[in-house]
Chains A and B, each alone.
Chain A
């Protein structure tokens, strides 16, 4: 236990998890917005949009997140010159957010699309009969109902996102996994303690989240 009574280590631990939470928060918002947009594209009447959405989903679902974060740094920042902050650490943070959002948006899109599938066709037909356009149908009739079915998968996506934020460590951000590795290397005798603390923190964050989303999904489930 002596490892964590050292205030230096405590600060490092809190900073590391601070990054995890910040990455999760920023990426979740961006991924949700982008994912819904992609889903709308995939069901839209315009073929180019459908193709773009499909291509996005297929590329990002089949590529390891490690490579995507790598491309964010070397592609966006190094080669395209997209600098998101003057400070190196903040820049890496935002590059990580971009990569995580792009990757997670593909999964959000698929979840939303299957949610749209659960809405009975009669709803859309009635909307059309009323003369609503495509975007109105989606916005006013389909997505609100789809949203109720989509809560459970989105909960899983959020949990997966939180775990995936550890991969941003590959571009040098000192988040939880990098910090844990450093602590293990410096304090080899306290390995189990260190692992239980770091793993336990994730469990403490994610298991209640899982239960919350299950409860929410049950509450909102549409009894047909």
Chain B
């Protein structure tokens, strides 16, 4: 049901009155809740100017927040590129007709999807050095962990996308004599990618959020610089967290809107596999 308003009749006078009452009640409750939060925070001096003034200084932005943001976005972008490669390779591997390829590929994907990101990061950052006797840079601990996790999610997305391409395409390809790897390369993967584009972009949001875990291993991303170091200077822990949350919401929201625009543009272009791919892909992009 794409037209949600089929769930309820067009409101008549009684329904409108009832809706208005419910609206007012709910709005009052919401306002009371927000006021309660505001007042309690006020009692603890969270709205004091001293906490918020640092954010009006451009030096604070230049020295703490912008460098942290740059690291966050760099890690997210690098991880996205690497995981696209990883995802494509493993998706094609899993779809292979040769069992000695598809089973290890499948096992690798399942393993990477099941292990929590934080565990991977800890292992790479604290554990690897015991093995290699060399330092493991925090940036690469974050990026590799993200690549493994996100790559496996994208692998599943690619698999769903490839499966969603209409069967007629493969049949036609075989009919004109293309082999399996040519079929993949020229027919299936390009169409699957176009269908996967919105998912890929929204996974970027997930990557962005997950780089925040890097602060636990002292990767100087946004939470570490803005949440730990900035607050050690100014003692404004809660105010800083609110500002950082706003930054994340703004950036991730923008990426999501872009993904939605991309989605609409592709659907408008009438890629037939898009609609089926969307349904197949929905169960991939959740909760990350």
Chains A and B form a bound pair = yes
Interface residues of A (CB under 8 A from B): 43-49, 52, 58-59, 61-67, 70-71, 74-75, 78-81, 104, 107, 110-111, 114, 116-121, 123-125, 128, 133-134, 137-138, 142, 152-153, 155-157, 159-164, 166-167, 169-170, 176-177, 180-181, 184-185, 188-189, 191-192, 194-195, 198-199, 202-203, 205-207, 210, 217
Interchain CA distance A150-B83 in the complex, whole Å: 27
Report chain B residues within 8 Å CB of A67: 212, 223, 241, 244-245, 248
Question: How many angstroms between the C-alpha atoms of A110 and B202 in the bound complex?
Answer: 14
Closest to B214 in A: A66
Tell me if B178 counts as interface (CB < 8 A to partner A): no
Q: Which of A47, A66, A177 contacts B119 (CB 8 A)?
A: A177
Besides A79-B46, A104-B287, A210-B113, 17 more A-B contacts (Cβ < 8 Å) are A62-B205, A62-B256, A64-B213, A64-B248, A70-B227, A74-B241, A107-B286, A118-B279, A124-B1, A138-B7, A155-B283, A156-B284, A177-B118, A180-B122, A199-B114, A202-B116, A203-B110
Whether A160 pairs with B9 at a CB distance below 8 angstroms is: no
Residue of chain A at shortest CB distance from B121? A177
Q: Which residue of B lies closest to A68 (CB)?
A: B245
1/0 per residue, CB under 8 A from A, across B221-253: the answer is 001000100000000011001001100110011
Docked-complex contact B249 and A134, CB < 8 angstroms: no
Q: Which residues of B contact A217 (CB under 8 A)?
A: 283
Expressed in whole angstroms, the Cα–Cα distance for A195 and B212 within the complex equals: 22
Residues of B near A62 (CB, < 8 A) are 205, 209, 248-249, 252-253, 256
A65 to B287, CA, bound (A): 10
In-complex Cβ contact of B283 among A49, A153, A199 (8 A): A153
By the criterion CB–CB under 8 Å, are B119 and A189 in contact?
Answer: no
Task: Give the number of residues in B that approach A within 8 Å (Cβ atoms).
Answer: 66
Q: How far is the CB of A147 from chain B (nearest CB, A)?
A: 14
A-B contact count (CB 8 A): 201
Bound form: Cα–Cα A111–B4 in Å? 15
A222 to B44, CA, bound (A): 54
Minimum-distance CB pairs A-B, first 3 = A160-B287, A62-B252, A64-B212
Q: Which residue of B lies closest to A50 (CB)?
A: B4
Q: Given A64-B223, A79-B40, A104-B287, do A191 and B212 touch, yes or no (CB 8 Å)?
A: no
Q: Known: A63-B209, A79-B238. Contact between A119 and B1, CB under 8 A?
A: yes
Complex alpha-carbon distance, A120 and B41, angstroms: 47
Interface contact A114-B130, CB-CB below 8 Å:
no
CB-contact partner of A63 in B2, B120, B245, B256, under 8 A: B245
Chain A interface, DSSP helix/strand/loop, else mixed: helix
Interface, chain B (partner A; CB < 8 A): 1-9, 11, 15, 19, 22-23, 26-27, 30, 36-37, 40-41, 44, 46, 110-111, 113-120, 122-123, 126-128, 130-131, 205, 209-210, 212-213, 215-216, 223, 227, 237-238, 241, 244-245, 248-249, 252-253, 256, 279, 282-284, 286-288
Q: Report the minimal beta-carbon distance from B283 to chain A, rounded to whole angstroms.
A: 4
Most buried by A among B1, B7, B213, B215: B7
Alpha-carbon gap, A199 to B2, bound state (A): 41
Interface centre among B1, B9, B11, B120 (most CB of A within 10 A): B1
13 example contacts (A-B, Cβ-Cβ < 8 A) are as follows: A43-B7, A45-B19, A66-B213, A79-B238, A80-B40, A118-B1, A134-B7, A138-B7, A160-B287, A177-B118, A194-B127, A199-B115, A210-B113
Q: In the complex, are the beta carbons of B126 and A181 less than 8 A apart?
A: yes
Minimum CB–CB distance from B222 to chain A (whole Å) comes to: 9
Whether A65 lies near B209 (C-beta < 8 A) is yes
Cα A162 to Cα B115 in complex, Å, equals 10
Q: Are A185 and B126 in contact (CB under 8 A)?
A: yes
Q: How far is the CA of A202 from the CA of B123 in the complex (A)?
A: 14
Q: B119 touching A137 by the CB < 8 A rule? A: no
When C-beta atoms are compared, the residue in chain A nearest to B208 turns out to be: A64
- Assess the B122–A45 pair: CB atoms within 8 A: no
Do the beta carbons of B40 and A66 come within 8 Å of each other? no
- Shortest distance between the CB of A60 and any CB in chain B (Å): 10
Nearest B-chain residue to A125, judged by Cβ? B6
Q: Is the CB of A164 within 8 A of B212?
A: no
Q: Given the known A-B contacts A124-B1, A177-B118, are A80 and B37 also in contact in the complex, defined by CB atoms under 8 Å?
A: yes
Write out the residue numbers on chain B whose beta carbons fall within 8 Å of the beta carbon of A162: 116
CB of A189 within 8 A of CB of B122, answer: no
CB-based contact A191/B245 at 8 Å:
no
Q: Given the known A-B contacts A63-B209, A117-B2, A191-B131, are A203 and B114 also in contact in the complex, defined by CB atoms under 8 Å? A: yes
